[in-house]
Chain A
Amino acid sequence: MSAAAPLGSALPAPARGARRPALRRFMRHRLAMFGLAAIVILVVACAIGPYLSPYGPLTIDLRHRFQPPFLGPHLLGTDQLGRDLLVRLLLAGRISLTVGFAAMGLSTVFGVIVGLAAGFYGGWAGTALMRFVDAVLCFPQIFLLLTLAALVSPGVLTITLIVALTSWMEVARVVEGQIRSLRERDFAVAAEAIGVSDTHLMLRELLPNVMAPIVVAATLTVARAILLESYASYLGYGIQPPTPSWGNMLNNAQEYLTSAPWLAIVPGIVITLAVTGFNFLGDGLRDALDPRLDIHR
């Protein structure tokens, strides 16, 4: 028997063979590689950097107050109390990145559960759920965030929960749409015809086929979560000093915007780097995984 090549063209790419081209596409994606590098460097620096610095985050160096970057013993300068900006930046990064990843994890899990249930069971409950998601999505996320933040006392945990609470809808929508169309596909009908349980159908047959869009959405969610945390903390509704976060470093820098602009510029650059890094990574993943999302119906 010949290898029936014509059959393959319109069919889902085989899982094993397809992984390599996807990886190749991803590696060739310049911006994604840049994003990945930026993220890795940031994460590693935040994790181990503070241990390598001679300065503590609260060490006050009154002789070098307001030292501009590169013009003294402190590499990235100091603030109004002479605290080392680099160390504070890295420690703040631990908090901001943790909030970003944790919020991503929570919102992804929640979004996947909601999307899976709505897409699988459908019916009026599923429709109602998705209309609710649409309604919440229409509402500017930052208002939602600030409203919630004004109601509860801010902290690392609460801000993570709040960011997660305002970020799960997109994932839910992606998953719901995919599950609904995947259910009509032959392999799902085949499982149904066998009489497998709903859990088996959802978790073993359908969900693995939605992993690609979930990963993409999750990556973009980290970017958004970091940005949201920064907004909230910058406006004073987020993480409160003395715990440093990239957002509240900006908040603190407001007073000295003209006298010591680097206090704002340095965290600003790092936030931009982290956010664009995750966005580029997400775009790269989307492009690399796309042909697999395009599986014929």
Chain B
Amino acid sequence: MSGTGAPLLEVTDLAKHYPITGGRTLRAVDGVSFTLGAGEVLGIVGESGSGKTTLGRTVLRLTAASAGTIRFRGEEITDYSRRRMRPVRRHMQLVFQDPYASLNPRMSVEQILAIPLQVHEPGLKRAERRDRIEAVLSTVGLFPEAASRYPHEFSGGQRQRVGIARALICNPALLVADEPVSALDVSVQAQVVNLLLDLRQRLGLAILFIAHDLAVVGLISDRVAVMYLGRIVEIAETTTLFARPRHPYTEALFSAVPDIGGRHDRILLQGDIPSPVSPPSGCPFRTRCPYAEAACAEALPPLVERAPGHFAACRRPELTLSSPLSPQPVSRFAADA
């Protein structure tokens, strides 16, 4: 949990808008606020296109924010230039979904891992650099011989370990892991998740863990934020969220996961996610929400604290929603009377 003092990362009203053809705007991320304490793991879930990647990259200042602020280690970095960001970067790192596309195929693992050291610790001697590379390889569970190999010589899971090693070699405080296991074989996914859990424990790493799979997120996260059309619609501690979701979209996501939602009536998400170019008026989820009523079209429901630390953006707090931990028959009008 947040621990002492100011949080490691504090994001306020963050937005990323892309201008698109016809003078219109695509709101990839809109009005997102959250904090992340040192050593904390915050899971971000949502369907494809909900803005998770954009959020992660905007937080890392890999794309410029359109609005809002990002405070990292007490510094407001929202408007830092590329040059000013450079020293900050060693403390915030990114792990990619596709472990291969993110590794330069022309460089050996040693060369790949040497770059962050050359950038952030230029004083290091050659032998020290070797030691650091060897150490980080063992941290992520790779053999020292891996250093002289090229990315294509590895399996998917091993490549992802190389990607994680690159992110870790300068001892960052924050790791944004953007669907780090979705591209891997199911058999390997658990290993990489365990590695991240282990690292988090040993290194006190804060992780923004992005996934579209609630089951994986539930394993690793202290808290979970659910995103829909660029907005956080629910955020709570993992146990609370799993015990009692308070947004219909979260319930729908639970029921869509076969492993954990298969036993009871499936609330299949009807229809496609609307375009972030022209989101529905009022509640963005109303076009697919089984509990929607006329009033839902009127105003955007704000993210409101419904229980300690449990925020949801739904104007019907009286709903009793089902979850894998508290399977209940889906009763659309349960609390209406």
Contacts and interface: CB of A to CB of B under 8 A. Distances in A.
Interface of A: 1-4, 7-8, 11-17, 185-187, 189-198, 200, 205, 208, 296
Interface of A is mostly: helix
B87 A195 contact: yes
Interface centre among B57, B115, B187, B188, by most chain A C-beta atoms within 10 angstroms, is B115
Contact of B152 (A14, A190, A200): A14
Contacts of B119: 194-197, 200
B158 A190 contact: no
Contacts of A17: 152
B252 interface: no
Interface in B98-112: 98, 100-106
Given A2-B155, A193-B89, A11 B185 contact: no
B178 to A, nearest CB: 10
Contact of B106 (A3, A197, A208, A296): A208
B153 to A, nearest CB: 8
A194 B185 contact: no
Contact of A185 (B86, B88, B101, B184): B101
A194 B188 contact: no
Chain B contact patch, size range: 35 or more
A190 B87 contact: no
Contacts of A189: 57, 62, 94, 96, 102
Contacts of B155: 1-4
Interface centre among A14, A186, A205, by most chain B C-beta atoms within 10 angstroms, is A186
Contacts of B69: none
A11 B98 contact: yes
B103 A190 contact: yes
Interface string B152-183: 10011111000100100000000000000001
15 contacts: A1-B156, A1-B188, A4-B184, A7-B98, A7-B183, A11-B101, A12-B105, A16-B150, A17-B152, A185-B101, A189-B57, A191-B104, A193-B92, A195-B88, A197-B119
B102 A195 contact: no
Contacts of A195: 85-90, 116, 119-120
A191 B112 CA distance: 10
B25 to A, nearest CB: 20
B140 interface: no
A123 to B, nearest CB: 12
B150 A14 contact: yes
Interface centre among A11, A193, A200, by most chain B C-beta atoms within 10 angstroms, is A193
B86 to A, nearest CB: 4
B46 interface: no
B60 interface: yes
A121 to B, nearest CB: 11
Nearest to A196: B119
A226 to B, nearest CB: 33
B137 to A, nearest CB: 16
B160 to A, nearest CB: 10
